[in-house]
Each structure stands twice: as structure tokens, then as C-alpha cells.
A and B are shown apart, each in its own frame.
Chain A
Amino acid sequence: MQESANMKRDLTRIRNIGISAHIDSGKTTLTERILFYTKRIHAIHEVKGKDGVGATMDSMELEKERGITIASAATYCEWAGHEVNIIDTPGHVDFTIEVERSLRVLDGAVLVLCSVGGVQSQSITVDQQMKRYQVPCIAFINKCDRSGANPNRVIEQLRAKLGHNAVAMQIPIGLESDFQGIVDLVSMEALYFDGAHGEDIRSGEIPEQMLAEARQKREELIDQASAFSDELTDAILEENEITTEMIIAALRKGTLARHMTPVIIGSAYKNKGVQLLLNAVAELLPSPEEVKNTALNLDENEAPVTLSSHPEDPIVALAFKLEDGVYGQLTYIRVYQGTIAKGSTIINIRSGKKIKVGRLVRMHADQMEDIEMIPAGYIGALFGIECASGDTFVSPGLNLAMTSMYVPDPVISLAIEPKDNKAQINMSKALQRFTKEDPTFRCHVDMETNETIIEGMGELHLDVYVERMRREYDAEVTTGNPRVAYRETITQRADFNYIHKKQTGGSGQYGRIAGYIEPTTEGDFIFDNLITGGAIPTQYIPACEKGFRQSLAKGPKLEFPITGIKVAINDGAYHAVDSSDMAFQAAARGAFREAYLRARPVVHEPIMKVVVEAPTEFQGAVMGLLNQRRGMIVGAQDEGHMCVVEAQVPLAEMFGFSTVLRSATQGKAQFTMEFALYRQVPQSIAEKIAEDMAAKKKNAA
């Protein structure tokens, strides 16, 4: 195969990075500037779409309108001889699965923070995810031109709130509206960004009045870096010259080990400091070779296998993102081992389907470039491949899967109804696409009411998909009230001894099952066969289990799914002629019904972890709001002029919270919400749910 000129093979010069940030910290603007300086785009637009175009990374219309980024598009650029793939990650917690999936394919990340807002609750969530996937990162403190900018405070927060060993590599020359340039503490020069878009970097002497501070900060930087380099330590002790290379090498070592987070500052909007951030990405973040990637060996009980990152080895690749483009389905993949080239044969591990690779492309935002191959360590996209997000592709003969990602169960559902026939067709197309793209988004048809139900991780999550249906698929739908995913479980052990008998006329049915059910925390359903001596013949045991499983889908109490239950059978009886699989399934269902109501069933509801950030004067009001919503306040953190209130609130009470919060705090508070746990519903509420369910049933009938 001929090697393509535009897909070089020097892995040490590849950077697969993500840009993770709190919503509104300027991530999209930053990405836009990066693409501009790396000459991938030739004009600069603003996120909010003042000129009607919108930043290049926000390829979805909806994102443009809301000023937020939802989909993680992968984009490619080159800087200082390095090839950089940028995965633009979403900033809202409702789309966490996308963030997590992106982090899986990254080798390093830039944590963007607002120099005014600092470390906010979403930054904490994103940071935890980075920790989970061991992603080395550097921090970029953006918006230094804004009033109230204070990079030092943000560095302090990085240390205190996120536990990062944050070290400033630069200090600002002036701040807020007076933000002029940056002092680089490694090279000890002042840098200014001239030209219409800051593309000309002018280097100068450090201003006299800043010299002392710069020296002191440089000393701190070198002191921190020396912990990772003997060479640097020796140079300090022997008072030799300390070279830029020495400092960078030491910083790189610390960053790769996640023992240090170098901090870069700037203002993407004002075109300051972005090139220095790109330098830092090239100098400090890891290449694919420096990251250990593991897959699971499905032949050996999912034992982890380290991948070689060698382009000649058999292929292992992960599909991390699907997009419906103008030309059909585009599958973004990261190749971990081997090389996917045009004409290669790969197998989708999940479906077992063999695929011949057709067109390969590299994306930058919504433009694409054809390439010949995607070697290990690279990110690219395939055309016309039928698969779902998170699927693993391998060479024939391998049976490996990339680490299965944690996918939480949905906590909220919504009935949707297409407005007309055309909408009906488009809606099903859209749903098919969304469920493939996002494993936390699911849909099904309720057999009783015949409604289409979509399920997801939060109100906004579902809202965005309904909007996308409208815009991208031209599917007008009406939505019902959001419904909370309640569950039933039992609280005590109950015995059963049930005979299913039908022996009048025709072929008979007979089966007796005895045993008990009890609560368990070890799983949703555990089936334990304690039968000895063949009281129920072995061939009927799977039928018993199936019968119990069928009973779990709808609890006899309120028809919610049942979880956390253990069924043990220890006795029974059969009939030589009349016993059958059917008879034992029916017996199991009967036995379950008999025992269930005696096992003190209760309803559980999803509880969300809600974190509200508000100016201190609204702390009382915020706590009042949460309390009214059956919230249990875990704590209140006073941070000078802002406070953070953390609470656990039932999801059922959180509908419309953003509006209420906005009006109670003059729009100055913001909140994030994520699923925390299931907890028992208080008696009074359970009664109300029962009433609602009864009313609904009556209406349906």
C-alpha cells in the first residue's frame, strides 16, 4: 500500500487532545482560534453567531443557536510540525456520556477555565472523568480580558478544589480591559499579539515593574519542575545554566504522570495566548505511544490486554462517534493498533459482521479530506459502516473489545407523538440515529398505550433530542409530561409455595415451585437454584428462572420494573405427563405474585445530585427552593462572594427548576444535576404515585 503524504507516520508528533470545559468558558471560541492559527480556516466567527455563521466547530444548527456544543466533532490541524486531532467535547453535564466517550479516545486534554468564574461544578465533573481515564492535562485560563479576571485565584482553585498540582507557566501583563500580553516564565520574555487577529507574535523585554514577580514565579515553576528531573535538580544545585529544554522536559514528565498541571493563560476572544497554548500542547501533552491502552480479551474472560500501538500489528479500533452527514453515516474511529486502510477487512466485535473498508476521511469541523489509511494512534472517519457508538473493530482472528464503557440507565422518560404522517417517518429515522449515537438515549413503544417513549439522563437531554428531531429531521412532535423512572423493590424475605395446575380437559399443566424471595444489593436480579434430589427436573429450571424474570418487568404493586431481588427455589413437584416449560413458567409467575406482596414492596425513585452556585446573598433562598423540593441539603460551601449548595433532590421534583431558580436569584445562579442513587419514596408520595397510576390506567382503558 502506498503511504499517503498527508498521513505521516511519526507517532511522537501526534497529539490527540480534547478540550474540556464548563459551559460558557469560551471553549468553542478557543477551538475556532486554534483552527484559524493552524490555517484550517481563514476567517473567525463568534459562537453566538453575530455574523450569522457561528464558530466552525459547532456544526449543528441547534448548537449555534444555544451557544453550546453538544456533539463531539473530531477535527484535525497541524502546529509546529505536530499533527493535532481535537475532539470537541460537550460542556453540559446532561451529555456526560459523550464527554466520557471522547475522553476514552484522547491522549491528553486541555482543561479550559474562565478566569472570572474559575473552577465551577461542571469543571469538577469533567475533571473527575479525566481522572477516571487517567488523561494528562494542561489548563488554559481563558477570558483574562474580562472584568473580574483573576488567574491566580483560578490556579488556587485548581489546587484546592480539584487537587491539581497547578503551576503557572506564564503571568499576564495587565488584566481585564488592560490585558496586553503574556510573560513566558520559561523563556523569560514578554509576548504581545499583534495584527488584526493576533497572528503576529512580538517578543520584548519583560516590563520593569513585573520583573521581580516574574523571577519569583519562574523560581516556583523551576522548583516544581525539578521534582521530575534529576538533570534540572543538578543544574539548580550546581548553579549551572538552566535551559528551556530542561524545564520543558521536566514539566512534560510531571504532566504525563498526572503529577502536575501546567497553566497557560490568555483570551481566545481577544486573540491572545492561543499560539502559546498550542506550543504547550505540542511540548507537554503525550503522543499516542506514551499512553498505555488496554483492550479486553473476550476469549479469556475479559482479561485486559495491552495494545502495541504498532501500525503493522492486527487492527484494534474503536468507533466513538457517529454523525449523519450529507453523504451518509460518518463513523469516527480511533485506531489503537494496526492500520485501517482502504480495502482492509475488519470485524465488528459486537455484531460479528465482516466489513470491507471503503472511503476513509479526516475531518475538520464539517469539511473533510480523503485519506488512504488510518494508522495506530490516529483518529479518522469511515463512510458507510453500519455500527453503533462504542463498537470495537478488529482484524479477523482477534477477539478483543475496547474497555466497555460505563453506561448508566436512563432516569427520565417522555412520550412523543408525531404531528403527521411525514413526521412519523422522519421521527423514526431520527430515533434510530440518536439511539445509535448515544447509548444513554433509548426509545421504545409502550405496548399498552401505543405511545413512543424516549428515555434519557435528564430533562435537557431529552429536550435537545426533541429539538434535533425538529431541525435536522423535520419531524414535528408533541411531547407529553416527563415521567420519572420509578422502580419497585422488596424490603423483607417472603416464602412461596405455589402450584400451577390445569388438569380439566385437553392437555394438562402442572408445576409446583417452593422457595423464597429476598432483597439483595448485589444486583438487579439473582436466581438461586437450591433444589436437590430432582424435586423439579433440571430441564425445567431455566423455565422457572424465565418465569421469575418475566415477573420483574412490571411489579404487581404499581407496575414499575422490579430490581434488587433474589429468588431462591428449594422445592417443587412435577407431573410426568402434564409438566412442561410453559407450566413451570406460569408456576414461577404465580409464586412470585404470591410472595411479592408479603415481602413489603416499596417504590424507589431516582435521586439527583444537584449543585447550585449562587452569589452568597441568595444562599438562603436557594436552600429554601431545594428544601421545598424534598431536597436533602448535604452542605453549603461559602467561597467569599459565591456559595455552592449541594443537595440530593428527587428527580420528580426537579422539573422546571431552572426557571424557578432563575427568578429567585435574578438569573445569577446556575446549577448542574446528575443521577446519584435510587431511594425509597416516602409513603405519602407513594400513595400519590399509586393514584396517578390508577388514573392513567383508567384513562388508557
Chain B
Amino acid sequence: MLKKDLILRNPLRQMGYENDDILPEGGFGAVLARAGVGKTALLVQLALNMMLRGKKVLHVSLLDPVNKVDLWYRELFRLLAVQYQIGQIRTLWEDILPLRFIMTFKVEGFSVPRLQERLNDLMEQGIFSPDMIIIDGLIFDDTSKPALDALKEMVEKQRLRAWFTVNTHRQVKEDADGLPKPLLPADELFDVALLLVTEGNEMHIRDLKTGDVPSPRPVLILDPATMLIKENVAVAS
């Protein structure tokens, strides 16, 4: 009953996605922002929502050690529970913890075959088979297309959903689609792209891939103190 309270509040649902998973099977999603704005926090919230729905999340970090990633989850889970006044969080946390697996690589040591090998290790031994995979810290530039293609193939084959963080830079020239430049080399691979921008004291989440949705999706606001998505929704301008 408590769990349901948290699940029902999947923040991204407010942006008008019909499916809780947001992405289709084999789909790619990206969270774009400048360094330090809150990409990881947003993805961890998505991951927590998946876990609360009983789905498994593999969190691959090329930036932080396991302990730090774990801390992100603990902290955001605690804040979520405070925000929605959920008691007994320890039991709930213990329940969902087995649904998460953290894997960290050094940026230079990361390669898709290596990830695939690790993932096979886990799946073949029946240790963990994820429904969603988060890749935090992959470098997006002109050379990243082959890696992304290989990942796409892997994700489609295993029927996963993959989310990426993408670092944008100060002077980003947006192209006609409104996509920041670093994403461009692999634009066609992505189903969802969310841009985090600071607007005064607030942080806005804009959906960049409105595609065939008739009306623009609403803009969500991230509370900069807690990095949680606020309940009230601003209307996109």
C-alpha cells in the first residue's frame, strides 16, 4: 500500500507519457544537462520508480565508485519518502534493494564488449537480469557513434531500456531539431531526450523530442535543494 503511493507518483507521467516505462523495449533515452545540474539525480529517480514497480535496474557508472552511486539512491529514496510522508521506509528499501545492481567502470576501461561480458556473467548465472540499464558518464562526441550502435544492438537483443546522461557544454548551438550538439551523432537512436536547464532558481526539464505529439509536453520543475521533481507543472512556452 505504501509502495503504491510512491509508484503512482512517477514524475515523468506528468509529462504525458502513457507508459510508466517511458521508453519502448529496446529504446534509448537521454538526459542532457551541463555538468553538475542533476542528470544522475533524475535518472536515479527513474530507476527508483522502476524498482518500486518490481523491475530490475542495472546502473552503470563511468564516473563514481559503487558507494557513491549507492548514496545517490539512498538519499533520493529518503527524500522521496519524506516528500510523500511514507513511513517504514527501511523495510521498503530492503525490499527494492535486490532489484538494483551497480557496476562501475573507469571511463577509459569501458567498452561495449566488456559491458556485454559482465552482463552475460550476471544473466547466465542467474544473478541479475535487468529490465532497464542506466549508463552514466559515457562521453558523447563524434567518435561515439559505433559504441552507441553496439549498445543499441545489445539493448534490442536483450529487450532492455537504456538511459544515458549526456553532458552539454556552455555554448551549445542547437540544431533545427532543438537537440544539443553532443547528441547529434546518434540522434536517430534516441526515443526520448530530456534537457535540464536552470531558469532562475529553478531547474526545468524540457522534453526535446515532442515528435508527433500534437501539443507540447509540459515542463517539469526540479527542486534544486532535493533534486526531486516537483509536483506542480509549468506549461511549456
B94 at the interface (CB under 8 A from A): yes
User: Is A634's CB under 8 angstroms from B103's CB?
Assistant: no
Q: Counting CB contacts under 8 A, is A161 at the interface?
A: yes
Give the residues in chain A near B122, CB-CB below 8 Å.
623
A174 interfacial by beta-carbon distance below 8 Å: no
Please state if A636 and B66 are interface contacts (CB–CB under 8 Å): yes
Check A521 for interface membership: any CB of B closer than 8 A.
yes
CB of A324 within 8 Å of the partner chain? no
Say whether, besides A161-B65, A679-B94, A636 and B125 are in contact (CB < 8 Å). no
- Contact B66–A639 (Cβ < 8 Å): no
Asked if A646 contacts B94 (CB within 8 A), the reply is: no
B residues less than 8 Å from A623 (CB atoms) = 121-122, 125, 127
Beta-carbon contact of A627 and B104 below 8 Å: no
Q: Which of B90, B102, B121, B127 contacts A635 (CB 8 A)?
A: B102
Residues 638-673 of A at the B interface (beta carbon under 8 Å): 638-640, 644, 646
Flag whether A624 is at the interface (Cβ < 8 A): yes
Residues B66 and A640 in contact, CB atoms below 8 Å apart: no
The answer, among B66, B90, B106, for a CB contact under 8 Å with A634, is: B66
Contact of A636 among B94, B97, B103, B109 (CB under 8 A): B103
Shortest CB-to-CB span from A630 to chain B, Å, is 11
Within B69-125, the residues touching A (CB, 8 Å) are: 69-70, 90, 94, 97-98, 101-106, 109-110, 114, 118, 121-122, 125
Contact present for B125 and A627 (CB under 8 Å): yes
Of all chain B residues, the one with the shortest Cβ separation from A491 is B91
Contacting residues of chain B (114-161) with chain A, CB-CB under 8 angstroms: 114, 118, 121-122, 125-128
B103, A635: Cβ atoms under 8 Å? yes
Q: Given A635-B102, A638-B104, are A620 and B65 neighbors across the interface (CB < 8 Å)?
A: no
CA distance A627 to B126 in the complex (A): 9
Contacts of A639 in B (CB 8 A): 106, 109
Q: Is A637 interfacial (CB 8 A cutoff)? A: yes
The answer to whether A620 and B121 touch (CB under 8 A), given A636-B66, A646-B66, is yes
Residues of the B chain whose Cβ atoms lie less than 8 Å from the Cβ of A541: none
Report whether B104 and A635 are in contact in the complex, using a CB–CB cutoff of 8 Å: yes
Interface pair B65/A624, CB less than 8 Å apart:
no
- B127 touching A619 by the CB < 8 A rule? no
Instruction: State how many residues of chain A have any CB contact under 8 Å with chain B.
Output: 20
Query: Could you say which residues of chain B place their CB within 8 Å of the CB of A644?
Result: 66
Is A632 part of the contact surface with B, judged by Cβ < 8 Å? yes
If the complex has contacts A623-B122, A639-B106, are A633 and B128 also in contact, measured as CB distance less than 8 A?
yes
Find out whether the CB atom of A638 lies under 8 angstroms from the CB atom of B125. Answer: no
Whether B105 lies near A633 (C-beta < 8 A) is: no
* Chain A contact residues, majority secondary structure: strand
**Closest chain A residue, CB of each to CB of B104:** A637
In the complex the two chains form, is B118's CB within 8 Å of A636's CB? yes
Contact (Cβ within 8 A) A637 B94: no
In the complex, how many angstroms separate the beta carbon of B116 from the nearest chain A beta carbon?
Answer: 13
Residues of A contacting B90 with CB < 8 Å? 521
A637: B residues at CB distance < 8 A: 65-66, 103-104
Contact of A624 with B125 at beta-carbon distance under 8 Å, contacts A521-B90, A619-B118, A635-B70 already known: yes
* A492–B73 alpha-carbon span in the complex (Å): 28
Q: Which of B94, B97, B105, B127 contacts A624 (CB 8 A)?
A: B127
- Check B102–A640 contact: CB distance below 8 A: no
CB of B19 to closest CB in A, whole Å: 28
Residues of A close to B97: CB separation below 8 A: 632
Q: Which of A624, A632, A636, A638 contacts B98 (CB 8 A)?
A: A632
Instruction: Give the distance in Å from the alpha carbon of A521 to the alpha carbon of B89 in the complex.
Output: 11
In the bound complex, how far is the Cα of B47 from the Cα of A413, in angstroms?
40
Are A636 and B128 also in contact (CB < 8 A) when A521-B90, A679-B94 are?
A: no
B104 and A619 within 8 A (CB): no
Give complex CA distance A521, B128 in Å: 31
A627 contacts which chain B residues (CB < 8 A)? 125-127
- Point out the residues of chain A lying under 8 angstroms from B109, CB to CB: 638-640
- CB-based nearest B residue for A645: B66
- B-chain residues with CB within 8 Å of residue A646 when the two chains form the complex: 66
Query: Chain B, 16-42, contact with A by CB distance < 8 Å: what is the 0/1 string?
Result: 000000000000000000000000000
Q: Are B106 and A636 in contact (CB under 8 A)?
A: no
Q: Which of B66, B97, B109, B110 has the most CB of A within 10 A?
A: B66
- CB contacts under 8 Å to B, within A585-643, are 619-620, 623-624, 627, 632-640
**Docked-complex contact A633 and B101, CB < 8 angstroms:** yes
CA of A679 to CA of B91 in the docked complex: distance in angstroms? 9
Cβ of A635 and Cβ of B105 under 8 Å apart?
no
Q: Shortest 7 CB-CB distances between A and B: which pairs?
A: A635-B102, A635-B66, A620-B121, A638-B105, A627-B127, A637-B104, A624-B125
Can you list 29 A-B contacts with CB-CB less than 8 angstroms, sorted by A residue number? Answer: A161-B65, A619-B118, A620-B118, A623-B121, A623-B125, A624-B125, A624-B127, A627-B125, A627-B126, A632-B97, A632-B98, A633-B101, A633-B127, A634-B70, A635-B69, A635-B70, A635-B101, A635-B102, A635-B104, A636-B66, A636-B101, A636-B103, A636-B104, A637-B65, A638-B106, A638-B114, A639-B109, A640-B106, A646-B66
13 new A-B contacts, CB < 8 A, other than A623-B127, A635-B104, A638-B110, are A620-B125, A623-B125, A624-B127, A627-B126, A632-B98, A633-B101, A636-B66, A636-B102, A636-B103, A638-B106, A640-B106, A640-B109, A646-B66
Question: Which residues on B are within 8 Å of A, measured CB to CB?
Answer: 65-66, 69-70, 90, 94, 97-98, 101-106, 109-110, 114, 118, 121-122, 125-128
